[in-house]
Amino acid sequence: MYARLLQPPERSFFLFGPRGTGKTAWLKTRLGGGALVFDLLKSGTYQRLSASPERIGDLVPEDHDDWVVVDEVQRVPELLNEVHRLIESRKLRFALTGSSARKLRRGGTNLLGGRARTLRMHPLTALELGDDFDLARALRFGTLPFACTTKDPESYLRDYVDTYLREEVQQEGFVRAIGPFSRFLEAASFSQGSVLNMASVARDAGVQAKVVEGHFKLLEGLLLAVRLPVFTRRAKRRMVAHPKFYYFDAGVYRTLRPRGPLDSAEEIDGPALETLMLSNLRAVNDAFALGYELSYWRTHDGREVDFVLYGERGLIAIETKRTHRVRDEDLAPLLTFREEFPMAKAYFVHLGKERGHDRGIDILPAGAALAELDSILGAKRSGGRTRRANGGKRPDA
């Protein structure tokens, strides 16, 4: 079992994250065996509570003084009115998980009026994997918990893509035809880590640009993708205006990305490294409540820094590169960024072994950078590195 960085609060909370990131297992570990669980993925529970959401109050014993867990609460958004009532009237504590924020945002759903915190679960980080972190495996198969431990991660990821990204999306009624949506998923994979060109994706998917925009919003609503905005604060140079696109996990991205003899390793492995870094940045930022805004920086003349983190703790610029040897031209974007923002801490992360400092830029191997990300971002963490304690079986995290 891997210990996660995320800590549960004392009061009721939402826990959002894509399927397979370990939300349910984390709740079992953190909340203990006394929690009462309503799993809305179970057909009986779903049918009973969707027919009469008020039944949940009758199903919680009057003397229950432990946590109440509602798994995949977005399947019955109306339950939140009853949850709200039970928090107020019976002082119950709820842990509400969801793999989609889309349904909860539609129709003015009751989000408990600030009575519940919002936490986010991401794929495993290098910090959480500790001594088990394998950079090459993470770049190829990502860091969803089961993908990190199964002997056949490729089959697991194919099943994940087929049963969730395609079938369940259709079953939930989010898309009418699965064929065009499947083509869109593949077309979007060519935009991984790139400035998003909606017209190009629409052309490759064979659908209208308006449809593609809806699909991108769907992926974001299902927490399966993120669009990274441009950092424009006090910009002295002319900047690009469009966001960059990323699937949430390197393994999911590589499973969706078609590849053949005309595809170079740089075209696929470069975005995979960026995706792994972004996944870790988002997880550490959320787990430690660091409050950074994540973005990227790109000028119209092509100078680009992959990740910019801005907040009360400072300004951090991180450039990743699939290279084993650091050259002056590799550092040029960060040097340009520091000319404009001299107060920024700058990091160049690469796949080689070189570690050093050059003109205000810290040079780090990717494995070291990911393992030290809490320190880089200014987080305080107690305890040592995590070791796997389940003998290779599916982790609870």
d(CA 240, CA 11): 42
- The pLDDT-based confidence of 384 (bands split at 50, 70, 90) is very low
Q: How many helices (H) and strands (E) would you count in the chain?
A: 18, 14
Q: pLDDT value at position 33? A: 84
Q: pLDDT value at position 117? A: 87
Mean pLDDT along residues 295-309:
91
Q: pLDDT value at position 182? A: 87
d(CA 296, CA 273): 15
Long-range contacts of 5-9 (CB under 8 A, 24+ apart): 5/125, 5/127, 5/128, 5/283, 5/284, 5/287, 5/288, 5/381, 6/119, 6/121, 6/286, 6/287, 7/287, 8/95, 8/119, 9/117, 9/119
Q: Which of 237, 252, 151 is nearest to 192 (CA)?
A: 252
Q: pLDDT value at position 261? A: 72
Q: pLDDT value at position 317? A: 98
d(CA 186, CA 196): 14
- The pLDDT-based confidence of 380 (bands split at 50, 70, 90) is confident
Kindly list the domain boundaries of the chain, sorted by start residue.
Answer: 13-120, 126-376
| Residue 299 pLDDT exceeds 90 | no
Mean pLDDT along residues 298-315:
92
Q: pLDDT value at position 386? A: 44
| Residue 17 pLDDT exceeds 50 | yes
Structure tokens at 306: 């992959």
d(CA 92, CA 66): 8
- The pLDDT-based confidence of 338 (bands split at 50, 70, 90) is very high
Q: pLDDT value at position 181? A: 86
Decide the pairing of beta strands 345-350 and 356-358: unpaired
Mean pLDDT along residues 325-353:
96
> Rounded to two decimals, what is the model's pTM?
0.91
Mean pLDDT along residues 278-301:
95
In angstroms, what is the C-alpha Rg of the chain? 22
Q: pLDDT value at position 381? A: 61
Domain covering 13-120 assigned CATH 3.90.1150.10 in the classification:
no
- The pLDDT-based confidence of 113 (bands split at 50, 70, 90) is low
Residue with the two structure tokens 């430690």: 288
Mean pLDDT along residues 366-395:
69
For the ranges 183-192, 237-246, 384-393, the lowest mean pLDDT is seen at 384-393
| Residue 106 pLDDT exceeds 90 | no
When the pLDDT of each residue in the chain is averaged and rounded to a whole number, the result is 88
pLDDT (tens digit per residue) in 210-268: 889 988 988 998 899 999 999 987 766 666 678 999 999 999 999 999 887 767 777 88
| Residue 394 pLDDT exceeds 60 | no
pLDDT (tens digit per residue) in 36-63: 999 998 999 999 999 999 999 999 999 9
Of residues 389 and 105, more confidently modeled: 105
Q: Are 187 and 211 in contact (CB under 8 A)?
A: no
Mean pLDDT along residues 10-30:
92
Share of the chain above pLDDT 70, in %: 88
**Bridge partners (DSSP) listed for residue 195:** 244
